[in-house]
Amino acid sequence: MSELFERIDALVASRSPLPPPAERKRLRTAHGLTLDEVAEALAVRRATVSGWESGRTEPRPPERDAYARLLRQLAELYPAEAGPVAPVQDTAARTTTTSAPAPAPEAPPVPPDPAPEPADTTAGHNAPPSPAAPAAAPRPARTTSPSPTSWRSGTAKATKAVKAAKATASTAAEADPRFANGPLAVVDCEDGHVSAYCVGGLVLGVPAKSLPALVDWTLAEARLGQARLHRNGRDADPVLVLTPAALERYGLPVALSDDERRAGRLADSHKVVKQIKRAELQLTQRGFGPWARIFRDPDGAKRRCVQLCVPSWNALDAREWDDKDDPKIPAMHPADLARYLGTYAQLVTTPRGTASTTGLELMTALRPPTRAEKDEATGRFERAFNADALTAVYDVVECEVPDEHPILRGKFARHHLRTQDQMLTEEPYDWCRELTDDECMKPYLVVIDVNLAFAAAANGLTVGLGGPTHLTNRPAFDPKLPGSWLVDLSHVDLSRARVNGRTVDADRLPSPFTPRGDRPTGPAWYATPTVAYAVELGFEVAPIEAYVRPQSGRYLDPWYNRLRDAYVTVMADLGVTTSMADAEFLDAMARAKHVDPTMALLAKAIKATAKGGIGKLRQRNRGQVPYYEPWPALKRETWRPDIRAAVLANVRVGMHRKLMKTAAAADLYPVAIGTDAIVYPSAGPSPLDVLPYTPEGKPAPGTFRLGVSPGMVKHQGTQTVLWAEAQFEENGGAFNIANLIKNDPTAGEGE
């Protein structure tokens, strides 16, 4: 009978009304929940929950019942306030918003977390999760300010992009009056008047006459910043992007001198640096460089810090943020630059430096190392560590570190090249072979490129979170244990492998076990995904020793989800959607970079964030200190070369798996691979002429599929076989053509 009652209750619940979309969002943010947390609990995608809250879609059973239960419980905890929320008064003079930000809710102090970079000594890094912010207040009235025709004509596109960003971003910025004007502003000076261009076309007048006054105005009145991406994280500091005109207005050089550029900062004797010190403001140990942090001591648990971005000092490296062959950022109107960086901040996170640094910081923002936990005995909040995060700097493993690491001092000769049994060499493919006679008869070489390959490989990957455990005496291989394994795979012979009952000529494929594609010759160190792939292929493995990390988890999943949603959103704004047929997708991709140049740059920046974030996990000594001396990155909890190795191993073996299935389905073999670009001989110039399809017109199972989602492929370029033969003759055969074949010569290598 109780089971019958439960079914009746479920039936009634499936038809009970849900609160309106705005109330759903209010309840979630009131409890400090992110879209990712709700999506994970309901076993749906983050974009699905976002759709429910925006009113674009409605939940369906069985998720609807669980979602309704969540909302009922939150409504009991946070009942709606009676009466409308009072609007924010705009008492600005000449477009200046002067209303003070709402005071931060009082919270018990918590010991600060370590700063994200060793040189960043800003205090107050972390604070206990604060109570929910009140409901959203109306934005200040937009001002009318003279602007070039290019900005006015792009207003509709800017509005569309901002709406898309708001629909997918997992922040509560719109519900937090502290950040009512967005995450950042571009500061410009025209005719002696200083203006701050914000996201969405808002322009604020800036009364500050000096740089210290500009910082204080930002902290007190600008209402800039971004709400935390995780309830245990911290809010992002406001960012001010200074144009050349603003630099001159505040006494800063438009370009750094040669000495300053080498030092990466202004000299301490510069008059503006002295102004900062006289105003009792502080700079981090990096000093005043392209990405400068200026702060005051925290006010209790409230952090008071502003980050400055100076594009003319190369803060926005053209290799990541711009088109290096045709730079667009230097000529951008401040409103367009605010739209570009502001939309990036809303979709990904507030820029913190290079795209690589921002990618790494995004990992920490989504998986904070600590949280505030109340001690029941004392009633005080103490710092506690999160089990799903990187929380400490652990002992390193000799085989996993680069050559210049201090642990290798005295182990090898100065210029010794470590062999594979001395060093873990998990890298993407860099492989090329000569064409066969039959392949030379085909006129074209078509290159396909994997979308967000590094991020896609991180999705669902179990990585080590704790310190290493050394296993000796020939331990049994466990594919569930992330780590590094010393194992001999030279016996793995794929020369006549069979896939789905068909024979594959694996001699025309690269080995899945080495970046150069050659067959192993003896014992070597491999990450867990590589050894697991050997087992998947049906071969026995007998590790000699291993360094494994039993404390593990899918640390990179929320990072991948955030970047995936950002990339798909931007590409949709460029006219490329996930629902397109293959031919339609190729046509849309060919047009995409011309639809909106600013959004095209944004797509490139997201790809650089994904690739660079993984690379930053093993940041090397860039000349900061002598060989074998510890460099600053080694002090980070996120300096984890083992995680980088696992991701890159997953990139390589995942690609090899598809290469095998493509060869079995269509007798099709690549002639070169460069990172994530694969070159195939083809009878026609399009990927449609080379990729295998079933008789029903669908992609062959397990092969490369055209599409915009991460892990799917797009067309990178086409060249003739005659061109390739000329390149081989000119370079003596030791040459990889994969990354030279591009329809768009401005495209970056990889990703």
Residues 105 and 129: beta-carbon distance below 8 Å: no
What is the residue type of 458? A
Cα separation, 357 vs 360, whole angstroms: 5
DSSP state of 30: H
Is 373 strand, coil or helix? strand
Strand runs labelled E in 334-407:
370-374, 381-385
Residues 520 and 533: beta-carbon distance below 8 Å: no
Cα separation, 130 vs 526, whole angstroms: 44
Is domain 2-77 classified as CATH 1.10.1060? no
Cα separation, 324 vs 321, whole angstroms: 9
CB burial of residue 45 (10 Å; 0-12, 13-18, 19+): middle
pLDDT of residue 494: 87
pLDDT of residue 11: 57
Tokens of 533: 């792939």
Domains of the chain, by residue range, sit at 2-77, 149-353
Q: How many CB atoms lie under 10 A from the CB of residue 646?
A: 28
pLDDT of residue 524: 97
Beta pairing class for 552-553 and 463-464: antiparallel
Exposure class string for 359-390: b at 16+ Cβ within 10 A, else e: bbbbbbbbbbbbbbeeeeeeeebeeeeeeebb
Could you tell me the sign of the dihedral formed by the alpha carbons of 240, 244, 250, 252, in that order?
A: positive
Q: How far is CA 95 from CA 10, 130, 144, 207, in A?
A: 54, 31, 9, 10
Q: How far is CA 144 from CA 95, 147, 195, 197, in A?
A: 9, 9, 12, 11
* Angle between helix 557-573 and 46-54 (nearest 10): 60
Nearest-Å Rg of the Cα atoms of the chain is 27
Spell out, as residue ranges, where the chain has pLDDT lower than 70: 1-16, 81-175, 732-734, 744-751
